[in-house]
Amino acid sequence: MRSEKHADDRTQKSVKAAQSSNYYCSQCGTKALRTNGQLLSAMPARSTGARVVDEGTALEGELLLEPLEGAQPALIKREKGTERQYRLACRSCAAVIAYRSVPQPTAGMFLYVDPAAVRETPPTQQEMLEQRLRRQQQQAEA
């Protein structure tokens, strides 16, 4: 499980993607998104603190989030009117991690990520165990 074992792989990958950064759900440790080396903390922020992420260029691989079920979009009152937020949640624990102002990824539009909802540390063994149990439960319910 420790990444040191794959030091050679890592060296080769690091040539292509300078240092892609993984972000995990801060609640349960499930992988949420991966950037192409840019740090969320280095991306521009909205006045609300959400990081502005260009899905077309800043992310690597697919976004590992799911649209939140229930009332979509969320309507947030702002000084200049009402803002629509199509919320994306952790696949495992349904914590809201990000949102878009449109239902689908769209060129010229952005993904907004709550920096408090993600962390850079991978899941602990306990969290991996809980994830597995949750998945088994979901499969049993399906």
Which residues would be at the binding site for Zn ion (CB under 5 A)? Answer: 25, 27-28, 30, 90, 92-93, 95
The least CB distance from residue 98 to Zn ion, in Å, is 12
Pairwise CA distance, residues 54 & 43, whole Å: 9
Residue 128 token pair:
């991996």
The least CB distance from residue 136 to Zn ion, in Å, is 16
The least CB distance from residue 64 to Zn ion, in Å, is 10
C-alpha count within 13 angstroms, C-beta hemisphere, residue 26? 11
Closest to Zn ion by CB, 30 vs 85, is 30
Closest to Zn ion by CB, 19 vs 138, is 138
Pairwise CA distance, residues 111 & 80, whole Å: 20
